[in-house]
Structure 1
Amino acid sequence: MRAPVERALEVCPVEVAVSVLGGTWKLTIVKHLQDGPWRFNELRRLLPLAGRKTLTRQLRELEEDGVVARTDHETVPPRVDYELTALGHDLAPVVEAMNRWGADYAAALPPRG
């Protein structure tokens, strides 16, 4: 278990969720993986602003925390797939609610100009 998650366990469940899902791109990764498994470069195309190093780190943390499963097909060229675990799929209602709220919030903002 990652140290931040272990510390959060001593506080409250909300802190555990923030510890697991807080981080650049993690919720967006989970959102995209709801559609099924993706290869690393496919995820990079879905998240064009995410750097390779950041995306790799976030995927590793999500894997370590049991939200994402990584499958290495041990082929040449390398093929690695990422998909949600059962715990990851349990996040669907949370991600959908946050997506809806984010869209509503964006719509309520004054026009940028």
Structure 2
Amino acid sequence: MSIPLPGKQVRGSKTGKPIMALLDLIGRTWSLGLVWHLREGPATFRELQHRCEKISPTLLNTRLKELKALNIISIAEGGYQLTVQGQSLIEIILPLGQWSIQWANELQEKTDELN
């Protein structure tokens, strides 16, 4: 699988629109999870393996290479870390996390009403 780039055909779209490249990237197994875990701070390969339970070393290596090539993460003294672009992605994702909590609560209430 190639790295999804704006302006290029990506999985699910031939338009080349940047949003489609982003959706392809974050839809890949563990891509968004790695970004989410790196919001906690820099981490080595082994630390990321521990944070991302059940990720294979091969898949972790692949995703780290992709995220690095796309300027979402970089390698620093403390290990892998978010770039400015990666941090701005987290800022966009945080409201989705808040929305998901509200959504889960509402679903639970509906489930409770049905039981």
Q: TM-score, normalised by structure 1?
A: 0.73
User: Following the alignment from structure 2 to structure 1, what is the Cα–Cα distance between the partners of residues 65 and 30?
Assistant: 12
The 5-angstrom pairing of residues 1-113 of structure 1 reads 4-5=4-5, 6-8=8-10, 10-71=15-76, 81-107=79-105, 108=107, 110=111
Counting matched residue pairs gives 103
Distance between the aligned counterparts of 1:27 and 1:105, measured in 2?
Answer: 20
- Greater RCO (CA < 8 Å, at least 6 residues apart): 1
The offset of 1:106, in angstroms, is 4.3
Match of 1:76 in 2: none
Distance 2:54 2:98 in 1: 21
Q: Name the SS for the 1:59 alignment partner.
A: helix
- Quote the sequence identity (%): 24
Tell me the equivalent position of 1:77.
Answer: none
Task: State the structure with more CA Rg.
Answer: 2
Deviations 1:45-94 (A, max 9, x none): 111121111111111100011101024x6xxxxxx710011111111222
**What 5-or-longer segments of structure 2 have no aligned partner?**
none
Q: Note the residue ranges of structure 1 that are not aligned, 5 or more in a row.
A: 74-79
